[in-house]
Amino acid sequence: MLEEAGIPTLSDLEAKVPGRERLKKGPVAIIECFRSIPCDPCYHSCPVNAIKEFSDINDVPQLDFDRCTGCGMCVGQCPGLAIFVVDYTEGIVKLPYEFLPLPEKGQKVIALNRQGKEICEAEVIRVQQLSIFDKTAVVWLFVPEELLMEVRNFKIGDE
Ligand code: SF4
Ligand code: SF4
């Protein structure tokens, strides 16, 4: 499905998702970037060097799950909108968002999966807008634990 529609399958995601033990320890980035492309802002954005140094700008990013703190700095700086943070301790997913209007804290939105299908209602708990993110916002959503690895976008109301 990745080849035809650009949507990763569970087996595509296997190498991008840490084991259960790491997930239970706290927030961690899930880098859903699969192609060799000339792009490396993720590497440069990480304050703790959790993304392995690129030997070539075409490298596919490799994340050290144990070093990642889940801070989300890479989420807002990835031009491909390919990075998410999941936090199984709090039931939070942090995702990049480039539509207007932005949601507000406390607002209920409709969470979407990778196919764009509506899968649940979610509450916005934070909207991060930093100058280093340029026009990308990082939106934090409360979602049911079993959907943390499914929710990858959202829409507001009946758009
Ligand atoms: S979430 Fe933070 S610590 Fe983890 S890879 Fe991204 S920038 Fe680095
Ligand atoms: S910045 Fe995003 S699109 Fe670019 S290599 Fe990193 S994860 Fe992939």
> Is the Cβ atom of 61 under 6 angstroms away from ligand 2?
yes
Q: In this structure, which residue's CA is closest to atom 6 in ligand 2?
A: 42
For residue 77, the model assigns a pLDDT of 98
CB 52, CB 33: distance < 8 Å: no
- Domains in the chain: how many in total? 1
| Nearest atom, ligand 2, residue 31 CA | 7
**pLDDT per residue as tens digits for the range 30-44:** 999 999 999 999 999
77-132 per-position pLDDT tens digit: 999 999 999 999 999 999 999 999 999 999 999 999 999 999 999 999 999 999 99
Residue 1 pLDDT: 65
**Residue 126 β-bridge partners:** 140
Contact predicate 91/145, CB 8 Å: yes
| Range(s) of the domain holding residue 91 | 2-155
Ligand 1 pocket residue status of 69, Cβ below 6 Å: yes
Confidence of residue 159 (pLDDT cuts 50, 70, 90): low
Q: Which tokens go with 49?
A: 């060097």
Q: What is the pLDDT of residue 17?
A: 96
pTM to 2 decimal places: 0.95
Q: How confident is the model at residue 158, as a pLDDT?
A: 65
- What average pLDDT does the structure give for the chain? 95
**CA 124 to the chain's CA centroid:** 15
